[in-house]
Amino acid sequence: MKNKKILNDPVYGFVGIPYGLIFNLVEHPYFQRLRRIKQTSLTHLVYPGALHTRFHHALGALHLMQQAIEVLRSKDVHITPEEAEGVCIAILLHDIGHGPFSHTLEHTLMQVTHEEISAYFMEELNEVFDGRLQLAIRIFNGEYHKPFLQQLVSGQLDMDRMDYLNRDSFFTGVHEGVIGYDRIIKMLSVRNGELVVEEKGIYSIEKFLVARRIMYWQVYLHKTVLSAERMMIAAMSRAKALARAGAELPASPALSFFLHHEPGEQDFKAHRKELLQRFAQLDDFDIISALKVWQGHEDPLLSFLAQSLTDRRLYRLEFSLEPFSEAYVQRVTDRVMAWSGLGEWALPYLIIRGQESNAAYRKTKDEISILRKDGSVKPMSESMDHFLQSQAVTKYYLCYPKTERTSIAQR
């Protein structure tokens, strides 16, 4: 009798979903919702192929976790069937709490992180499936007595990162992001309950870190992607301000609720079931549909932002390795405000400043451990030249409309 549902994944080929609890979780509406959440948010506005979803990613991470379990067992690491199922469930559900367009609107529609919402979903599903997710929750929260299981779910070499780098490079066509995931997984082992990498895999790790660094600047923090994301945040922020001022704002019931309310951690703890049911109805399609309708809204700023995003007429974004001078920012501000025909109230939506930092590798408590040939274990920072990977790069940005277009007031 078949014990797995076989799917054809464009990245890995045939992958298997074990029948039973894991398959039933995949079939649950909470998980199926991930089909309607783009993995890389608005990246498709730069890389047209980047239309893959959180659903793809979760199944890919599950596939890699199954491979990792097989490799570790072949090296006499004791993993019980219950632990294997638990860690597979933890990686399967690790991103179930993502909202529309993934990270972009995470702090705009509510003040709860996607990790926290993922935990709430797991608690809810644990009740639905009669407590059978308890071990997965302990692993997910880092409360289980075998730390390496949690490190496989959330760490510097977790299956989450392995899959998203592989998958995102595939769908964007950015080949610099390709990693030797199969070799890295084969080099994994466990010492004293902690995940380690055999020394002969160290250059595969270095390639992994370099690829991650390149993907951040070339894809995730590409200036046009960043511009679109900041415009999306501005549009939702303006919609929230109008909704709370009593303006009529066409939107789906799910989106309308989060435009009028901003639930926090205490709200989710007190009303978990109700809020999760509302959140589970919210996805990319609610946002896209709303933007299409808001193009004709009477508020000129919301109309401008909605039409600009729909038609891909994005803000100009400038990067700098040094903070922009106040004199330069003021010149840009004066030009944009004169062009817009709007008052100072519109300034936060039109002139957007910020900074982004990235380091491929950070010396933290979960630093990658290298298993040397003599049996000793050392942190990666003591095992190779890690300067390039650990050096953080900060870029400052200034984002604003292209004033050669028709002004907002004249639209």
- In 110-193, DSSP assigns E strands to 188-191
Q: Which residue has the tokens 């199922």?
A: 85
Alpha-carbon dihedral 392, 398, 402, 408, rounded to 10 degrees: 130
What is d(CA 252, CA 225) in angstroms, rounded to the nearest whole number? 26
CATH number at residue 132: 1.10.3210.10
Residue type, 385: D
Q: Would you say residue 107 lies in a domain?
A: yes
What is d(CA 243, CA 18) in angstroms, rounded to the nearest whole number? 45
Structure tokens at 350: 């039109």
What is d(CA 31, CA 267) in angstroms, rounded to the nearest whole number? 22
CB 352 within 8 Å of CB 314: no
Element (H, E) at 82: helix 81-92
Q: Tell me, what's the pLDDT at 385?
A: 57
Q: Would you say residue 269 lies in a domain?
A: no
Q: Tell me, what's the pLDDT at 196?
A: 96
CB-based contacts of 340: which residues, under 8 Å, 6+ apart? 346, 350, 401, 407, 408, 409
Q: Would you say residue 193 lies in a domain?
A: yes
Q: How far is CA 231 from CA 38, 236, 333, 343, 353, in A?
A: 17, 9, 17, 19, 12
pLDDT tens-place string over residues 247-300: 999 999 999 999 999 999 999 999 999 999 999 999 999 999 999 999 999 999
What is d(CA 375, CA 150) in angstroms, rounded to the nearest whole number? 23
Q: Which residue has the tokens 């949690």?
A: 150
Q: Would you say residue 188 lies in a domain?
A: yes
Element (H, E) at 110: none
* Coil/strand/helix, residue 7: strand
CB-based contacts of 296: which residues, under 8 Å, 6+ apart? 303
* Coil/strand/helix, residue 404: coil
Q: Which range of residues forms the domain containing residue 58?
A: 4-221+369-392
CB-based contacts of 322: which residues, under 8 Å, 6+ apart? 396
Q: Would you say residue 260 lies in a domain?
A: no
Q: Would you say residue 248 lies in a domain?
A: no
The alpha-carbon radius of gyration of the chain (Å, integer) is 23
pLDDT tens-place string over residues 120-159: 999 999 999 999 999 999 999 999 999 999 999 999 999 9
Residue type, 289: S
pLDDT tens-place string over residues 42-89: 999 999 999 999 999 999 999 999 999 999 999 999 999 999 999 999
Q: Would you say residue 43 lies in a domain?
A: yes
Q: With the C-alpha atoms ordered 367, 371, 374, 380, is the resulting torsion angle positive or negative?
A: negative
Structure tokens at 158: 């977790």
Residue type, 189: S
- Tell me how many domains the chain contains: 1
Q: Would you say residue 73 lies in a domain?
A: yes
pTM: 0.95
Using a CB cutoff of 8 Å and minimum separation of 24, what contacts does 49-54 make? Answer: 49/171, 49/172, 49/173, 50/168, 50/171, 50/172, 50/219, 51/171, 52/167, 52/168, 52/171, 54/95, 54/98, 54/102
pLDDT tens-place string over residues 337-377: 999 999 999 999 999 999 999 887 777 667 899 999 999 99
Tell me the pLDDT band of 110, cut-offs 50, 70 and 90.
confident
